[in-house]
Amino acid sequence: MKKNFISILILGCTLINIVLSAITMFSVVSTNQKTASIVTEVAQILDIELGGTEAEEKENDIPIENIVTYSISEEMMVELKPSADGTRHFCSVTVFFSMDSKHKDYKKYGATIGENELILKSIIGEVFQQYTMDEARANQDEISAEILKKVQAKYGDSDFIFDVSFSDIMFQ
């Protein structure tokens, strides 16, 4: 009789433990989900990206044999925003675009990108003119991202162009 009573008591304690564990688990999971959503909202407000940038992820996904580059035919000389003391500065830069040759829009836009070179130059000039010489030196990645965003918008928000890079960049 004593063994049955102890077995029933142990079984009761086990069931109570399982119920309390389940309640604890559900409360912790829901709190964790709420915390994760708050962190995500704060990150979005602060414009912090978790992980790599979208362009980096896109670039890393494209095999090298599918990447086609287009370089602006000549070196560009762009006037920069005057510095605080009013001095005019210029930037000499060669810009090239990386495109995904297997992208669905490449056949539509990629073959004729050379015909739109003046538009591309205009976008590059507009973006560079928003920066002083010191800002342009310090924020080349930001300038590249802004040019990419505007070029993609010109092509109907297509991302067949996934990177904008500079070479031979000099400031004066």
Of 1-5, 22-26, 148-152, 164-168, which range is least confident?
1-5
Phi–psi pair at 33, nearest 5 degrees: -65, -40
**Spatial contact of 67 and 144, defined as CB atoms under 8 Å apart:** no
CA distance 94 to 72: 7
Residue 171, Cα to own-chain centre: how many angstroms?
A: 27
CA distance 155 to 165: 18
pLDDT exceeds 60 at position 52: no
The listed CATH number (3.30.43.10, 3.30.479.30, 3.40.50.300, 2.60.40.420) that belongs to domain 54-171: 3.30.479.30
What is the pLDDT, as a whole number, of residue 45?
78
What is the pLDDT, as a whole number, of residue 73?
79
pLDDT exceeds 90 at position 19: yes
| Greatest mean pLDDT among 17-26, 36-45, 83-92 | 17-26
The band of 75, judged by pLDDT with boundaries at 50, 70 and 90, is confident
Q: Where are the domains of the chain?
A: 1-50, 54-171
Tell which wins on pLDDT, 48 or 105. 105
Mean pLDDT of 6-14: 92
pLDDT in tens, 127-163: 988 988 888 888 888 999 999 999 888 888 888 888 9
**Spatial contact of 83 and 134, defined as CB atoms under 8 Å apart:** yes
